[in-house]
Amino acid sequence: MRPLAALAVLVIALAGCGYVGDPKPPTLDIPLPIQDLRGVQRGSKIILAFTPNPKTTDDLLLKKFETIDLRAGENVSGGFDVNRWANAARKFPVDDVSVGPHEITIPTTGFIGKEVIFAVRSTGPKGRSSNWSNLVTLRIEPTLSIPTGLALTPSVKGIVLNWKEEHTLPNTQWRVWRLVEGEKEPTVLGNAAGASWLDPNAEYGKTYSYTLQQVLKISEQQEAESEITPASTLKFEDRFPPAVPSGLTAIAGIKAVDINWDRNQESDLKSYILLRAEGSGALSPIADLGVTPNYSDTKVESGKKYRYAVAARDELGNTSAPSAPVEITAP
């Protein structure tokens, strides 16, 4: 066979074999470390959360892991050594080996009064484990009691919460949660230093649910929590009348008595109600006025003694008590 013909046959043969280059080494499938481990003590439980890293050291993606290894061990003196810690730490099973977010609950049994280090790692399908995650250190405290006696009281300033202050420790506060009608998740309003809280942002016509938990400040980085109370619910309705008008005066005019008073400051003020009595008689309404704080009473008889008082009414019909009366003799 001629040289050129032989070369052509060789090229065709190689193409038919599907040759694409040198073979690649097998992947190790070692997961990258978990980096977002976090934890909190709530009641008699420790709640740990993390999201396994689906990437491998070969920059490939895993759909699941062979195992997830969660451990908790006491922070002993003499300097921290991860291998010494891991050998002595307690293992907690993680049944879910998917790549999604995880939340694991473990009891405080055996850990109370101790400073405990938590870490987690994942193992790939070929049995090779990642490095340990970020470390979480918690000092485990005796179980905090759940607050009791939560009561809701509507007021002109908002909704007032009160509860019993009992079984508390120094540095204890109460975290207040609120769920507004129509919302899916509650929000934290803040931490109360005592056994009461005012929610000044409640709006009339809406229904609110409140819950509490006791919180113990352990350090700048750590708090322990109680379980959360059952919800207490209230529909916040405007049943609050305007303030009683003040500054009422009566002045003799020309064939009339002129009555003046200080203007109310409520934004929903609708009108004033003027009341009058002759001599020692009972006060009764004589005029349902607008929001102008004065009135001229022309239906008086000269020489007769009159007493006047005024009340304020809002848009919903809530009416204040009458003001202190003033007395005058008609000119």
Q: Of 117, 139, 161, which closes a domain?
A: 139
Report yes or no on 230 lying in a domain: yes
Report yes or no on 10 lying in a domain: no
Report yes or no on 310 lying in a domain: yes
Report yes or no on 2 lying in a domain: no
Number of domains in the chain: 3
Q: What CATH number is associated with residue 193?
A: 2.60.40.10
Residues 125 and 169 in one domain: no
Report yes or no on 287 lying in a domain: yes
Range of the domain at 217: 151-235
Q: Of 89, 118, 139, which closes a domain?
A: 139
Report yes or no on 314 lying in a domain: yes
Place of tokens 């003020």: 269
Closest CA to 47 of 142, 136, 110, 134: 136
For residues 274 and 292, the answer to whether their CB atoms sit within 8 Å is no
Residues 225 and 287 in one domain: no
CA distance 15 to 82: 54
For residues 267 and 294, the answer to whether their CB atoms sit within 8 Å is no
Q: Of 201, 235, 269, which closes a domain?
A: 235
CA distance 220 to 34: 24
pTM across the whole model: 0.77
For residues 122 and 53, the answer to whether their CB atoms sit within 8 Å is yes
* pLDDT tens for the chain, residues 1 to 331: 454 444 444 444 444 555 555 666 678 899 999 999 999 999 999 999 999 999 999 999 999 999 999 999 998 777 889 999 999 999 999 999 999 999 999 999 999 999 999 999 999 999 999 999 999 999 999 999 999 999 999 999 999 999 998 877 888 999 999 999 999 999 999 999 999 999 999 999 999 999 999 999 999 889 999 999 999 999 999 999 999 999 999 999 889 999 999 999 999 999 999 999 999 999 999 999 999 999 999 999 999 999 999 999 999 999 999 999 999 999 8
